[in-house]
């Protein structure tokens, strides 16, 4: 079950003002969060200076965490500057949403075919849980809940190879989806679409299920781009 973000952000020094607020919902581990915050606050920082800011971290742990963060597209090394937080670009958003659309569309026929009454009831239960949070407009809680709904729905397909590929992209999908759904008008719209998606599964209506899923993802992409520009995450090309 999804949970609200810890208020401490794993002792993040930036607390609620952290420019990586949405990413923190995704990234596990105390050190990764502290590394990201230290790099974000410094703008650019060399390895030894970064280690000196992180009490108790070993060279092995720091090097490993930086490799993972670089692999995940969160930081990058710049010659003569050190480590920086990688800015998102239009190309990043377009590429991830293209991948997401292609992968999720592959699962839809199997979801329609395999979904049981229990699966459909479980999806509705998750949406009802979200209903109780909607009134509070607690976006930090609702965003991971919405992503969990998508995971739960996708897993019905039972196509393990496709699911593993989706899992490999999930951190990017989660980051960008969090930015999109943080806008109230998109959150309300997406929640209504989630209910309609479940209706189509129950009705075994593949055509409308596919059409709505495509629109759902495209609308999320549009709102993500708006959020990136508004929040100045967007890197000037």
Distances in whole angstroms, Cα of residue 46 to Cα of each of 52, 54, 133: 10, 13, 42
Q: Are residues 192 and 212 in the same domain?
A: yes
Same domain, 156 and 108: yes
The larger pLDDT score, comparing residue 223 to residue 140, is at 223
Domain count, the chain: 2
Helix H or strand E encompassing 32: helix 30-42
pTM, rounded to two decimals = 0.67
Length of the chain: 237
- CATH no. for residue 62? 1.10.10.10
33-42, 54-63, 90-99, 195-204: which has the highest mean pLDDT? 195-204
Q: Considering 67, 85, 103, which residue would you say is the last residue of a domain?
A: 85
- 187 and 76 in one domain? no
Q: Which pLDDT belongs to residue 55?
A: 85
CATH number for the domain including 94?
1.20.120.530
CA distances from 11 to 4, 14, 151, 163 (A): 16, 9, 28, 33
Question: Do the domain assignments include residue 4?
Answer: no
User: Which has more confidence, 178 or 69?
Assistant: 69
> Looking at the predicted structure, is the pLDDT value of residue 190 above 80?
yes
Query: What's the rounded mean pLDDT across residues 75-81?
Result: 84
Does the residue 28 lie in any domain?
Answer: yes
Give the domain-ending residue among 85, 100, 124. 85
Task: Please tell me the number of Cα atoms within 13 Å of 88 on its side-chain side.
Answer: 26
Residues 54 and 158 in one domain: no
* Domain around 202: 90-230
- Beta-bridged to residue 88, according to DSSP, are 234
Q: Give per-residue pLDDT as tens, 90-127.
A: 888 888 899 999 999 999 999 999 999 999 999 999 99
Section 59-86 average pLDDT? 84
Helix (H, G, I), strand (E, B) or coil at 76: strand
What gap in Å lies between CA 226 and CA 223, rounded to an integer?
5
Is the pLDDT at 4 greater than 50, yes or no? no
> Across residues 136-140, what is the average pLDDT?
71
Do 78 and 107 sit in the same domain of this protein?
Answer: no
């Amino acid at each position: 079950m999804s949970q609200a973000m810890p208020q401490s952000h794993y002792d993040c020094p930036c607390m609620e003002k952290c420019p990586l607020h949405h990413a923190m919902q995704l990234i596990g581990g105390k050190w990764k969060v502290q590394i990201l915050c230290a790099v974000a606050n410094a703008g650019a920082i060399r390895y030894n200076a970064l280690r000196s800011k992180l009490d108790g971290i070993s060279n092995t742990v720091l090097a490993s965490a930086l490799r993972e963060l670089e692999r995940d597209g969160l930081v990058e090394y710049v010659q003569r500057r050190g480590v920086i937080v990688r800015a998102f670009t239009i190309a990043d958003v377009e590429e991830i949403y293209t991948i997401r659309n292609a992968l999720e569309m592959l699962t839809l026929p199997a979801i329609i075919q395999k979904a049981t009454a229990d699966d459909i009831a479980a999806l509705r239960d998750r949406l009802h849980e979200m209903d109780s949070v909607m009134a509070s407009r607690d976006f930090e809680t609702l965003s991971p809940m919405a992503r969990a709904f998508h995971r739960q729905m996708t897993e019905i397909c039972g196509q393990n190879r496709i699911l593993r590929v989706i899992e490999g992209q999930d951190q990017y999908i989660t980051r960008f989806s969090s930015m999109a759904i943080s806008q109230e008008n998109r959150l309300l719209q997406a929640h209504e679409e989630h209910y309609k998606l479940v209706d189509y599964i129950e009705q075994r209506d593949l055509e409308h299920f596919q059409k709505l899923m495509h629109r759902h993802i495209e609308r999320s992409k549009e709102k993500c781009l708006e959020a990136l520009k508004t929040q100045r995450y967007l890197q000037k090309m």
